[in-house]
């Protein structure tokens, strides 16, 4: 009797344990038949349960959001090597970072990742195929505060799940515009994590907005000139392999769908080189290939989750086979960027699309132009009928803005806003041990115009600039950024003023444009007669200026300031970029550095 009871008890306990495991291993997405995506707390709880089931998974935090939520980082490694240090210097193994919910309403990557993690734990043979030479870092929710602005009405264009997070952070900032300017605590935490791991490949998972078409998954890869050539060639091979694998599954994918003319499918398809405010554009300038996944928002939620899961799985499988080659190319790109030969060609900061096009076959949806009786506006109405289309594809880009990179940049220590960002991005620098007078190349800005409406909490500025050589005394503590370093592309994008995401353009140097000392009218008016008397050419110059510019001629204050500008009292620093470029290796090597 006693032993029967014991056996029964044991069986009950065993059944209980199995039930607990089964519960832990089905995801909230599955439990709701694909209708729900879990909240932050549910996600964290589920991941903790999953980690309890396996010694190959560790759930970590890479920082905290402004609202105090932990930023989750799941590390999956078959050998339990959960520290970045354990992977440094390895040549036969790669680290893949997969990120979801940077736009928290676009949650398919979170659910796809949870399914994939569970499957890899349940099926050791799958883990062997995917993780033998790959360590997986998974960020299920990057925008954690936006994610908890949870509700059914956050994505008007999107077909499910029932409720979802919000696009931007608690501070109303879009993390996928913040990569280079790094304003948000979330991004600063992400950059620390990225610097620590420097993942060899990066995937950022979104759901798109935009047109209707048949593809459940579209993607973008940086193959247009903004990444190291070796990595670009590898990425083209990867792209072909992924297209082949997704087609073999019965669901082909297409490059990110953007029409040449906004909302006009007839204008053809175009690609672009992402600027470093975007995740994959940023990865590119850190010498790491990145994949942007955009599942199609009109497809039902399970289709989107499944599409993302398949593409991440195919990528893992490819990386597992290609680990040695990719790792070699990544390390080669790092040393090529750090070598002097990197600076022999002008560095492309931004690109223009050319008019050159090919014709591609596109699995579209039939459309017509409709006119609204209410708004009076015309719009493209998709009929829902699948239609194979021949479309023009514009995919050729040429550099539109380039910079001659210096041997080093030098930044006066008071421009801490720039120095802090260099530090956040892992750009290496040293400081002057004592003051040094140096001849530098810099820029003088004019025609500055600020955007009237805020964009990402800034009023970005556009300006003209001219190169200027000057001799300047740099105080002790000035920051010297030697460009012989792997992060040279990042430094150039931050510090070259004409870069699309430069610190100047985001407004971090706005104070440079301000004139802050003034002249009283009675002071300058009484100086003017003497100035005209002392300099016989001045009257002629004034007459010329007046003739050329009637507005100036009619504005006494403009004329007074014209005279003020001829005096030594005028602020000669207005509009001059504080950052200097040093073009001589000998000078850089001779600097007294701390
Ligand atoms: Zn998005």
The mean pLDDT of the chain is 94
Residue 587 has pLDDT above 90, yes or no: yes
Q: Helix (H, G, I), strand (E, B), or coil: what is residue 414? A: coil
Residue 10 pLDDT exceeds 70:
no
Measured in angstroms, how far is the CA atom of residue 169 from the centroid of ligand 1?
13
| pLDDT of the residue at 4 | 52
Look up residue 357 and give its DSSP letter: E
The whole-number pLDDT of residue 16 equals 41
Pair of tokens at residue 457: 């909490």
- pLDDT tens sequence across 290-330: 999 999 999 999 999 999 999 999 999 999 999 999 999 99
Dist CA 435 CA 398 (whole Å): 42
Q: Kindly state the average pLDDT of the residues 465-493.
A: 98
List helix spans (H) across 202-300: 229-248, 279-285
Tell me the three state secondary structure of residue 157: coil
What is the average pLDDT across 120-125? 90
Relative to beta strand 201-207, strand 94-100 is parallel
The pLDDT tens digits for 232-259 are 999 999 999 999 999 999 999 999 999 9
Q: Flag whether pLDDT at 6 surpasses 70.
A: no
Question: How remote is the CA of residue 108 from the centroid of ligand 1, in Å?
Answer: 11
pTM: 0.93
The DSSP code for 160 is -
Q: Measured in angstroms, how far is the CA atom of residue 568 from the centroid of ligand 1?
A: 53
Confidence of residue 264 (pLDDT cuts 50, 70, 90): confident
Q: How far is the CA of 87 from the centre of ligand 1 (A)?
A: 30
Beta bridge partners of 74: 59, 138
The structure tokens 């499918």 sit at 265
CA of 422 to the centre of ligand 1 (A): 26
Average pLDDT over residues 475-484: 98
Phi first, then psi: give them for residue 102, nearest 5 degrees.
-65, -35
- 3-state secondary structure string, 386-411? EEEEEEEEECCEEEEEEECCCCEEEE
Specify the pLDDT at position 15: 44
Report percent pLDDT > 70 for the chain: 96
Closest CA to 330 of 200, 483, 484, 487: 200
Residue 105 CA, ligand 1 centroid: distance in Å: 8
207 C-alpha vs ligand 1 centroid, how far in Å?
A: 6
- N-term to C-term CA, the chain: 82
pLDDT 10s digits, 348-375:
999 999 999 999 999 999 999 999 999 9
- Identify the band that residue 342 occupies on the pLDDT scale cut at 50, 70 and 90: very high
Asked if residues 95 and 137 have their Cβ atoms less than 8 Å apart, the reply is yes
Ligand 1 centroid–CA 292 distance in Å is 9
Rounded distance from Cα 294 to ligand 1 centre (Å): 7
Q: If you measure from the C-alpha of residue 455 to the centroid of ligand 1, how many angstroms do you get, rounded to a whole number?
A: 17
Inter-residue contact 113 to 100 (CB < 8 Å) = yes
In the reported structure, the alpha carbon of residue 496 is separated from the centroid of ligand 1 by a whole-number distance in angstroms of 28
């Amino acid at each position: 009797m006693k032993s029967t009871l014991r056996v029964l008890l044991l069986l009950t306990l065993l059944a209980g344990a199995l039930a607990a495991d089964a519960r832990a291993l089905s995801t909230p997405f599955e439990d709701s038949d694909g209708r729900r995506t879990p909240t932050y707390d549910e996600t964290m709880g589920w991941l903790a349960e999953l980690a309890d089931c396996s010694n190959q998974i560790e759930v970590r935090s890479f920082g905290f959001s402004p609202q105090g939520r932990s930023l989750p980082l799941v590390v999956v490694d078959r050998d339990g090597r959960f520290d970045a240090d354990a992977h440094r210097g390895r040549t036969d193994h790669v680290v893949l970072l997969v990120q979801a919910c940077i736009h928290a309403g676009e949650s398919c990557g979170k659910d796809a990742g949870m399914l994939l993690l569970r499957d890899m734990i349940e099926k050791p043979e799958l883990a062997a195929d995917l993780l033998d030479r790959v360590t997986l870092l998974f960020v299920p929710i990057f925008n954690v505060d936006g994610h908890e602005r949870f509700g059914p009405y956050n994505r008007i264009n999107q077909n499910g799940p029932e409720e979802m997070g919000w696009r931007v952070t608690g501070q109303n900032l879009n993390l996928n515009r913040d990569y280079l300017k790094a304003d948000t605590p979330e991004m600063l935490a992400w950059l620390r994590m990225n610097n620590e791991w420097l993942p060899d490949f990066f995937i950022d998972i979104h759901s798109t907005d935009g047109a209707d078409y048949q593809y459940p998954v579209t993607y973008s890869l940086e193959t247009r000139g903004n990444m190291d050539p070796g990595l670009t060639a590898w990425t083209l091979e990867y792209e072909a392999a992924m297209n082949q694998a997704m087609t073999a599954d019965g669901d082909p994918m297409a490059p990110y769908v953007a029409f040449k003319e906004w909302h006009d499918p007839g204008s053809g398809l175009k690609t672009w080189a992402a600027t470093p405010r975007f995740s994959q554009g940023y990865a590119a300038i850190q010498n790491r290939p990145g994949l942007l996944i955009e599942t199609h928002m009109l497809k039902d939620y399970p289709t989107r989750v499944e599409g993302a899961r398949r593409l991440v799985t195919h990528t893992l499988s490819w990386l597992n086979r290609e680990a040695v080659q990719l790792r070699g190319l990544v390390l080669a790109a790092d040393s090529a960027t750090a070598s002097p030969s990197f600076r022999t060609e002008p560095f492309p900061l931004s690109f223009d699309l050319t008019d050159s096009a090919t014709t591609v076959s596109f699995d579209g949806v039939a459309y017509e132009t409709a006119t609204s009786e209410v708004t009076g506006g015309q719009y493209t109405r998709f009929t829902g009928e699948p239609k194979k289309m021949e479309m023009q594809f514009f995919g050729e880009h040429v550099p539109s803005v380039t910079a001659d990179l210096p041997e080093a940049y030098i930044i006066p220590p008071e421009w801490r806003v720039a120095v802090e960002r260099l530090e956040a991005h892992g750009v290496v620098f040293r400081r002057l041990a004592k003051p040094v007078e140096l001849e530098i190349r810099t820029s003088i800005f004019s025609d500055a115009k600020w955007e009237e409406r805020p964009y990402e909490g800034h009023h970005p500025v556009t300006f003209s600039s001219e190169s200027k050589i000057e001799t300047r005394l740099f105080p002790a503590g000035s920051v010297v950024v030697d460009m012989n370093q792997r992060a040279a592309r990042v430094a150039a994008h931050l510090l070259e003023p004409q870069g699309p995401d430069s610190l100047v353009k985001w407004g971090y140097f706005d104070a440079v444009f301000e004139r802050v000392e003034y002249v009283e009218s009675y002071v300058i008016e009484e100086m003017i007669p003497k100035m005209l008397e002392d300099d016989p050419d001045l009257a002629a110059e004034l007459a010329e200026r007046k003739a050329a510019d009637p507005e100036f001629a009619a504005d006494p204050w403009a004329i007074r300031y014209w005279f003020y500008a001829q005096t030594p009292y005028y602020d000669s620093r207005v509009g001059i970029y504080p950052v200097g470029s040093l073009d001589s290796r000998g000078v850089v090597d001779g600097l007294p550095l701390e």
